[in-house]
Amino acid sequence: MKAHLDELNSKIKPARGAYIRPKDAATLIVIDRSGKQPKYLMGKRHKDSAFMPGKYVFPGGQVNASDSRARPLRDLAPVTAGKLTCNMKGKVSTSRARALVMAAIRETFEETGLALGAAHKGAISSRSPDWKSYFQTGLAPKLDHFFFAARAITPPGRPRRFDARFFIADAGEIGANASPATSGDGELLDVAWLSLDEALGKDLPLITRIVLKEIETRITAPDGWSPQYPVPFYYYRINRFHLELI
């Protein structure tokens, strides 16, 4: 992790734009471990995207108000909830922590057509247009099967800033798909399962590259799929990135 911190500080330079408060965002790293090597669900952002155009990323996006109201089938593991509320900016609540994971699941469904969850047998629904289509698949998330993996805040001076939380989930959590992993709302193009080497050969944002390498290390560790596993938190202060473990 220290090497990754040094890489960030060597490549990310200060910017002088107006101060913008970071917005909560969430990303989901879905990992297929059925083959000889893990593969990661990724896609290419549209060239006309306002944020990171043309870059390959994991599905994800900004947290919406509806994400705090949508109901999961099972709640966060207490350890995960505690890590997500640690150093949380603004009003701290478990509801807000839950909304982060829900946003990552919703964005993955919207951008790839893949729904992660288990059958809810008609017990859960939503009037929100953000969640209606997802729940119509007959699924609802088991949030204790999603693991907090990393956090990074966009440095100041940028035109858009996010307080992004990265989560991991096994591809076995995919309970239904509206289409093969090739379509969604059009925000992500060329959606595919990529090995580490294939992914690193794409045009990735620096933080995505760093998180990808850290995830590869994590999932090979004996306790890598435990909610207790240390979570790296990258943030920018006094003209350089800092790293804390949550």
Q: Does the pLDDT at position 68 exceed 50?
A: yes
Sequence-separated (6 or more) residues with CB below 8 Å from residue 136: none
**Helices 78-85 and 94-112: crossing angle, nearest 10°?**
100
Claim: this prediction has a pTM higher than 0.75:
yes
Q: What confidence score (pLDDT) does residue 126 get?
A: 81
Domain count, the chain: 1
Distance CA 243, CA 213 (A): 16
Q: Does the pLDDT at position 125 exceed 90?
A: no
Q: What is the extent of the structural domain holding 171? A: 2-245
Q: Which of 113, 232, 121 is nearest to 168 (CA)?
A: 232
- Residue 139 · residue 163 · CB < 8 Å: no
Mean pLDDT of 17-29: 93
Higher pLDDT pick, 179 / 92: 92
CATH number of domain containing 155? 3.90.79.10
Q: What confidence score (pLDDT) does residue 122 get?
A: 79
- Residue 245 · residue 231 · CB < 8 Å: yes
Q: Does the pLDDT at position 184 exceed 60?
A: no
Which letter does DSSP use for residue 152 in this model?
E
pLDDT digits (tens, 9 = 90+) for 28-64: 999 999 999 999 999 999 887 777 788 999 999 999 9
Structure tokens at 87: 């150093």
- Of 41-45, 124-128, 177-181, minimum mean pLDDT range: 177-181
Helical H runs in the chain?
2-11, 78-85, 94-112, 132-135, 196-200, 206-220
Q: Does the pLDDT at position 200 exceed 70?
A: yes
Q: Does the pLDDT at position 86 exceed 50?
A: yes
Task: Encode burial over 181-202: b for 16+ CB neighbours within 10 A, e otherwise.
Answer: beebeebbbebbbbbeeebeeb
